[in-house]
Amino acid sequence: MKLLRYIMVTNQDQLSWYDVSEEVKNLLILASNNWENTILAEQYISEALNKAKNNLDVLIGAYRFFFYKKKPETALDIAKKILKIIRETEKLPLQWEKLKPILVGRQSDSSIRLYLNAYAAEGFILAKLGRLEEAKLITQRVKEIDKNRESCATTVFEVLTKSPDEDDD
């Protein structure tokens, strides 16, 4: 019993930067501890999402969970939700022509970096789902901004646009 309490305290300390209730942290820990039991872990993640509302940390964790559990449609929905929350919070325009200069000018802001990463993730998932034209558009957009290749966008774009005749050097 002491070992279990120690594990829970250690895990809670690892989540101490999450700005959520202890109940949500415990649900995330339970999901992590039950990783091999996908159905149970997914229940814990879903419950944490419901209780945490629109907490970006929980949404990012859930996105990763569903991505690695090979549930791309759910991961895509969560990535889009992250984009929507940041767009509303930061009052970002929907039109790319208006949005791009804002993203370029503010790419060192943590919320904008998160937006770009979620947008790149959307492109990556769309590629996995076979929605290649949408994936190319999104990854090209992020690639134009992400000169330091901090997201997967450039790599995904290069893979999607590589000519079949090119060598794999």
Say whether pLDDT at 43 is over 90.
Answer: yes
Question: What mean pLDDT is reported for the chain?
Answer: 87
**Does the global pTM surpass 0.85?**
no
Cα 58 → chain centroid = 10
Q: How far is CA 131 from each of CA 56, 83, 106, 123, 138, rounded to the nearest angstrom?
A: 26, 19, 29, 9, 11
What's the confidence (pLDDT) of residue 169?
A: 52
Q: What is the DSSP letter of 21?
A: -
The pLDDT of residue 129 is above 90:
yes
pLDDT band at 151 (very low <50, low <70, confident <90, very high): confident
Is residue 30 within 8 Å of 8, Cβ to Cβ? no
The single residue listed with the structure tokens 């998932």 is 125
At position 35, the amino acid (one-letter code) is: W
**Which carries the bigger pLDDT value, residue 167 or residue 129?**
129
Rounded Cα–Cα distance for residues 61 and 80 (Å): 14
Confidence at 6, pLDDT banded by 50, 70, 90: very low
Provide long-range contacts, Cβ within 8 A and 24+ apart, for 27-36. Answer: 27/51, 28/58, 28/61, 31/65
Q: What is the pLDDT of residue 10?
A: 44
The burial of 49, by beta-carbon neighbours within 10 Å (0-12 exposed, 13-18 middle, 19 or more buried), is given as: buried
Q: Comparing C-alpha atoms, which of 148, 153, 82, 138 is closest to residue 111? A: 82
Q: Cβ of 124: how many Cβ atoms within 10 Å?
A: 26
Looking at residue 9, what is its pLDDT? 43
Nearest to 140 by CA among 126, 125, 161: 161
Which of the pair, 165 or 58, is modelled with greater confidence?
58
Q: How confident is the model at residue 155 (pLDDT cuts 50, 70, 90)?
A: confident
Mean pLDDT of 113-142: 95
Q: Please tell me the total number of residues recorded for the chain in this structure.
A: 169
